């Protein structure tokens, strides 16, 4: 089984209850698929206005392929003032 470590920042860190979570990655290949899995496992994520996924330090598009060993992070909405 492939496990993907997902880093969390801001409110995502609070939702996960830690700075990172391990997600079974079998059958996952895109950022959109990962978003769906995370929303299912952590329903509070689905309540956010939006959140982005970053792969290897770059914002990912829905069809961005995630490879084993990539650094993956959840970037929550940012408000400014």
pLDDT at 81: 52
CATH number listed for the domain at residues 3-75 = 3.10.20.30
CA angle centred on 4, ends 16 and 12, rounded to 5°: 20
Between 54 and 69, where is the model more confident? Answer: 54
What Rg do the C-alpha atoms of the chain give, in angstroms? 12
29 CB-near residues (< 8 Å, 6+ apart): 65, 66
Which pLDDT belongs to residue 76? Answer: 85
The answer to whether the CB of 28 falls within 8 A of the CB of 4 is yes
Domain ranges of the chain: 3-75
pLDDT, one tens digit per residue, over 1-59 is 778 899 999 999 999 999 999 998 887 789 999 999 999 999 999 888 888 999 999 99
């Amino acid at each position: 089984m492939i496990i993907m470590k997902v880093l969390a920042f801001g409110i995502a860190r609070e939702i996960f209850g830690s700075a990172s979570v391990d997600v079974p990655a079998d059958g996952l290949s895109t950022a959109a698929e990962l978003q769906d899995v995370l929303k299912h496992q952590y329903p509070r994520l689905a309540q956010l206005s939006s959140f982005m996924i970053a792969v290897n330090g770059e914002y990912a598009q829905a069809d961005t392929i995630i490879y084993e060993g990539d650094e993956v992070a959840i970037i929550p909405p940012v408000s400014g003032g």
